[in-house]
Structure 1
């Protein structure tokens, strides 16, 4: 992830707004072998989401009871839909993230606005196959008292 951050340093500087923020993210990615990962070295959402999506060329989704966001790669060609992979992280106990297994038609939160401003022309088509799913998510989420963990299509982590 360090390589990705450095490779597109100008893009990430623009996203983070300051050199201090960029350096904080860069330092968080540096972990010596056998070093214990303290909290400042954890994957930081939303600071690192674009890096993950771009580096691995995946659709990266984060969900919590406060909403969520979808992150597409900032660069690179749009993969055929059958080759695209969605990785979804779900917040648990308001202090850590776990990978959630979602169905192929699970509603997706809207794309993070930073992506729209910083993606390349080549990558801008990533969102097209997911527009209906993002619209459905917004419709469901706008209803009062919607618990993101109970939307059909996500596996309840509390059940076996």
Structure 2
């Protein structure tokens, strides 16, 4: 059962050494982070559109453009697959449906010098970036990745097989 909106920071399981920004965001977003991952979160950053987003938004003629039909929207975890492949990072996706781990589709774990991780909490149409540290449980591997990865990328599962999987 997710924590209630009225919980204080002390009722969550976040570490006391969190960054100040993250500590402030615990009150807004803490209830959306699965309790098993809370002890490993050292920062929570609200992802807000800045700069070029507003410039682009103000150049659109809203009278003649309509939103793309729903069948053309890109949803998570598909967006996570694009991010993982394009930037060569691991993507941890946390949402109301659970936690998923997404690896690059066509890149071997051995070909990346460093395994950078992007952890995001998906809140419907909004995202929150979280920073995890320590030996946290590894989210389950995304089934779409398992189906479409190539042979070179299949070693990602073996690289992380000894991490705790159950939560």
Length-normalised TM-score, structure 1? 0.54
Distance of aligned partners of 1:44 and 1:34 in 2 relative to their CA distance in 1, 3 Å threshold:
farther
| Residue-by-residue CA offset, 1:3-35 (whole Å, 9 max, x unaligned) | xxxxxxxxxxxxxxxxxxxxxxxxxxxx99932
Distance in structure 2 (CA, Å) of the matches to 1:87 and 1:39:
28
Distance in structure 2 (CA, Å) of the matches to 1:39 and 1:90:
24
Larger radius of gyration: 2
Q: Is 1:90 aligned with 2:111? A: no
Q: Structure 2: where are the runs of 5+ without partners? A: 1-51, 59-65
Distance in structure 2 (CA, Å) of the matches to 1:105 and 1:39:
42
| Counterpart among 25, 35, 41 of residue 56 in structure 2 | 35
Aligned to 1:69: 100
Distance of aligned partners of 1:65 and 1:133 in 2 relative to their CA distance in 1, 3 Å threshold:
farther
Length-normalised TM-score, structure 2? 0.52
Over the aligned positions, Cα root-mean-square deviation in angstroms equals: 3.4
State the 4+ residue runs in structure 1 displaced beyond 6 angstroms.
37-40
Q: Structure 1: where are the runs of 5+ without partners? A: 1-30, 141-160
Task: Kindly indicate whether structure 1 or structure 2 has the higher relative contact order, using CA contacts under 8 Å at least 6 residues apart.
Answer: 2
Distance in structure 2 (CA, Å) of the matches to 1:104 and 1:80:
23
